[in-house]
Structure 1
Amino acid sequence: MKYLLFLLISYTSFAQNNEFPSAKVEAIVNRIQLPVIPSYQINVLKLGAKGDAVSNNKAVFDKAMALCKKNNGGTIIVPKGTYKINGPIHFVSNVNLKIEKRAKIKFSDKPEDYLPMVLTSWEGTMLYNYSPLIYAYQCSNVAITGEGTIDGEGGKIWKSFKAKETEGKNLSRDMNHNNTPIKDRKLGKGYFLRPQMIQFFNCKNILIENIRIENSPFWCLHLLKSESITVRGVSYKSLNYNNDGIDPEYVKDVLIENVTFDNGDDNVAIKAGRDHEGRANSATPSENIVIRNCNFKGLHGVVIGSEMSAGVQNVFVENCKTVGFLKRGIYLKTNADRGGFIKNVFVRNIQLDEVEDCLYMTANYHGEGKGYQSEISNIHFSNITCNKASESGIVIQGFQQKKIQNISFNNIEIKEAKNALSNENAENVLMTDVFIGNRAGVPSAVSKH
């Protein structure tokens, strides 16, 4: 009898814990600080910039950033026009890069323009590589705002790097696994690892607001080892290889809202380092991430992984919908190379149209790896609709020796699916008001045969 009582108490507590924790979300949002920018302003035209889509404005933008540094920060105003920049923009603290309506920054696509190399990360491994096109390192109070466009010119030379990246990618992973000192991880020329378009690295109090991001060489917006971040009102059209929209990695306290995605890869991919290096950084998991009121379009809506070895926790996704096809709606992916954990994920009020798979959780991504199985627990879905899943409605794949635990589904309606449910190596899975395919009606009383 005592055992039954314990089961009832556990079940009741689990049922209560799976409710969307709005108070936690508001606490995260309220402690995120927007950047404070000094009043100094400089218009790039006054420094001789030419918005003619031809002239190289690299020196002008460098000068604008230097003037801001001299004045302890300020706003760099980019008025209408198309400003070619042959090389990266490197931020200093306390600066807002304001790209006004009908203004476009168009980066060159010559790899040599993005040398010398900078300290960065590539698919979860720290190394030296080509500079991201916009790069902020160890900055605080930084912003990119305005209704203008950033064009990464990623569809030609950079796109050709994809077929040649294997050697550099494998070398980076060997360096990770062998604990090669970061100062010796010099890739760059000859290794064909494409740079991110925008990267904030070791930064605090970041705002990216209302800009349009197009044609990135690689990941569009990489938020790395940073905290107190707001991304809102941003729109995308970036359909090259690996054009993830937003990649938060080793981050803390992030708000992503009112973003309209159109990406060649994941819309939001939450990461936390890869393999040995990631596990060594377990003190800085990715945590406290709020994603709300977004329009998804691309490969996957919200992804956690696969590089998540330091752990991902406290992720809240709500009030989002698709505006086109997604391969997968919500996708948690890890494998036995990763270790780490994914826990305390809450997803509610999601409208999906047509997908391949609606809700997908796997601990065996690509069937790869051994020795470091991840812990996946406390994942909660509620109020989700999907018109059609051409493959699977709900997939849960754990390991026999490390099961996925404490998963709940409440008020889920997937109107059509080739495969309704695939659930293996999971325990404490609670389903309430889950409909996949046609809802069953009242059973007939008399056999027709």
Structure 2
Amino acid sequence: MNFKYLLILLISCSSFAQKAEFPTAEVDAIVNRIQLPVFPSFQINILELGAKGDSVTNTKLAFDKAMALCKKNKGGTIIVPKGIYKLNGPIHFVSNVNLRLEKGAKIKFSDNPKDYLPMVLTSWEGTMLYNYSPLIYAYECTNIAITGEGTIDGEGGKVWKSFKAKETEGKNRSREMNHNAVALKDRKFGEGFFLRPQMIQFFNCKNILVENIHIENAPFWCLHLLKSESITVRGVHYKSLNYNNDGIDPEYAKDVLIENVTFDNGDDNIAIKAGRDHEGRANSVTPSENIVIRNCNFKGLHGVVLGSEMSGGIQNVYVENCKAVGYLKRGIYIKTNADRGGFIKNIHVRNIQLDEVEDCLYITANYHGEGKGFQSDISNIHFSAITCNKATESGIVIQGFPEKKIRNVFLNNIEIKEVKNALSNENAENVIMSDVFIGKRATVPSAAK
């Protein structure tokens, strides 16, 4: 139904207040459990290794030497001073290293795909495979960081951008391998398949810090937190507007703090994932869990997304005190489909300020209407203290399946001031609303004339 002005005001039972209370103690426990990386005292300035910040000279050898020296010294800090450093190839981390970009420093990666060979073990849209190396790649590392006020430029707007129109064959091949449980060693992509690499990927890593840097112009996802834990991302600034430029993608990630981040992305600001389809369901013992998102500024396609690749499960996500500084297509978006299986549960969102969106709060188990046989379980979703100035389409959408209903959705103190479609709620049970206003607030009833 189409309601231009609708007031929904449901007074719930007394138990609702207790259920809807934001679980601050759980958030504190997660944050206190996360360990920041520590580093030995060794430091190396890349200028000492022959690097030139002239935007022309290839400085990859200097960065490789710096990592090798850190490894020899059991870790340390690589200092990148002011200048523009061209890298014709990736940076591969070793443990116990802080890559520190000083103010005015920029690392500018080449956009020649051959520079990112040989292939490495990675993931692409929820499927494990071998592909081009991410531009910055850490595999099985502990105590690693990228810090400082400098910039990382992925040069993603030309050659890499052209891959988007050519990726269908490779994408479909990867999904077939996922569904058919093809051995990992046989999942070789790279040249000829046009699957763009992530800008920064931490894979099977622990004790990670990304702080205060600027990220721009990524080829694909910007910061991919894959099968990693004990992660802090704070004070980061984005301006990355190419195809699929998600800001942060935790995937099978555990104990994550994302705070004080300013997003400006061509795709999702934060997209929490947990693998795709058969492979994802086989990894259900390592869901994405215990993720805290707070004090962030959203701008881009969607603010916070859970899914759609979430077959390993997503649980214990806490989002608070965030606002949109520009247009978003959707504010908070929970999405899965009948190919995925898995679960999304125990999600708490509060104190969110949205300006203009297409849809404000959107929960769907039927994303793109795709798939069959593996419907997801969505339950225990809590939204409170959310304001939105305008939704050009829908205020609140909840879409389950008749045989797999979305359960236990709590909405408290929600105000969407202007909207085309107020509420669409189908195949859900125990949806409880308290102080929910969609459209113009009603006042006292008018008197008879």
Asked if TM exceeds 0.5, the reply is: yes
Match of 1:257 in 2: 259
Q: Distance in 2 between matches of 1:47 and 1:75?
A: 14
Q: Distance in 1 between matches of 2:66 and 2:439?
A: 58
CA shift, 1:408, in A, is 0.5
Q: Distance in 2 between matches of 1:102 and 1:85?
A: 17
Question: 275, 287, 293: which is aligned to 2:295?
Answer: 293
Q: Distance in 1 between matches of 2:17 and 2:24?
A: 16
Paired-residue identity, %: 84
Aligned residue for 1:339, secondary structure, equals coil
2:20·2:412 contact (CA, 8 Å) conserved in 1?
no
Match of 1:80 in 2: 82
Question: 307, 310, 313: which is aligned to 2:312?
Answer: 310
Counterpart mapping for 1:43-442 below 5 A: 43-442=45-444
Q: Distance in 2 between matches of 1:436 and 1:37?
A: 51
CA shift, 1:16, in A, is 1.9
Aligned residue for 1:324, secondary structure, equals coil
CA shift, 1:104, in A, is 0.1
Q: Distance in 2 between matches of 1:13 and 1:438?
A: 28
Q: Distance in 2 between matches of 1:365 and 1:444?
A: 43
CA shift, 1:15, in A, is 4.5
2:342·2:377 contact (CA, 8 Å) conserved in 1?
yes
* CA offsets 1:163-186 (integer angstroms, 9 cap, x no match): 000000000000000000001100
* CA offsets 1:95-140 (integer angstroms, 9 cap, x no match): 0000000000000000000000000000000000000000000000
Which amino acid is 2:44 matched to? I
2:234·2:260 contact (CA, 8 Å) conserved in 1?
yes
2:302·2:330 contact (CA, 8 Å) conserved in 1?
yes
Match of 1:7 in 2: none
2:332·2:362 contact (CA, 8 Å) conserved in 1?
yes
Q: Distance in 1 between matches of 2:13 and 2:243?
A: 45
Which amino acid is 1:402 matched to? K
Which amino acid is 1:333 matched to? K
Which amino acid is 1:125 matched to? T
2:166·2:194 contact (CA, 8 Å) conserved in 1?
yes
For structure 2, list consecutive stretches of 5 or more residues without a partner in the other structure.
1-11
Aligned residue for 2:401, secondary structure, equals coil
Q: Distance in 2 between matches of 1:312 and 1:29?
A: 18
Aligned residue for 2:396, secondary structure, equals strand
Q: Distance in 1 between matches of 2:54 and 2:19?
A: 57
CA shift, 1:272, in A, is 0.1
Provide TM-score, normalisation by structure 2: 0.97
Aligned residue for 2:189, secondary structure, equals coil
CA shift, 1:207, in A, is 0.1
Q: Distance in 2 between matches of 1:13 and 1:97?
A: 50
List, as ranges, runs of 4+ consecutive aligned residues in structure 1 with deviation greater than 3 Å: 10-15
2:85·2:106 contact (CA, 8 Å) conserved in 1?
yes
Aligned residue for 1:352, secondary structure, equals strand
Aligned residue for 1:376, secondary structure, equals strand
Q: Distance in 2 between matches of 1:288 and 1:332?
A: 17
Q: Distance in 2 between matches of 1:412 and 1:132?
A: 40
2:328·2:358 contact (CA, 8 Å) conserved in 1?
yes
Q: Distance in 2 between matches of 1:38 and 1:427?
A: 54
Provide TM-score, normalisation by structure 1: 0.97
Instruction: Name the count of aligned residue pairs.
Output: 438
Which amino acid is 1:442 matched to? V
Match of 2:36 in 1: 34
CA shift, 1:12, in A, is 5.1
Match of 2:3 in 1: none
Aligned residue for 2:63, secondary structure, equals helix
CA shift, 1:388, in A, is 0.1
Q: Distance in 2 between matches of 1:43 and 1:210?
A: 19
Q: Distance in 2 between matches of 1:14 and 1:288?
A: 23
2:20·2:384 contact (CA, 8 Å) conserved in 1?
no
Q: Distance in 1 between matches of 2:355 and 2:32?
A: 32
* CA offsets 1:379-407 (integer angstroms, 9 cap, x no match): 00000000000000000000000000000
Aligned residue for 1:16, secondary structure, equals helix
CA shift, 1:17, in A, is 2.3
Q: Distance in 2 between matches of 1:283 and 1:12?
A: 36
* CA offsets 1:253-288 (integer angstroms, 9 cap, x no match): 000000000000000000000000000000000000
CA shift, 1:19, in A, is 1.4
Aligned residue for 1:277, secondary structure, equals helix
* CA offsets 1:53-107 (integer angstroms, 9 cap, x no match): 0000000000000000000000000000000000000000000000000000000
CA shift, 1:13, in A, is 4.8
* CA offsets 1:211-260 (integer angstroms, 9 cap, x no match): 00000000000000000000000000000000000000000000000000
Aligned residue for 2:280, secondary structure, equals helix
CA shift, 1:11, in A, is 5.9
Highest RCO, 1 vs 2 (Cα 8 Å, sep ≥ 6): 2
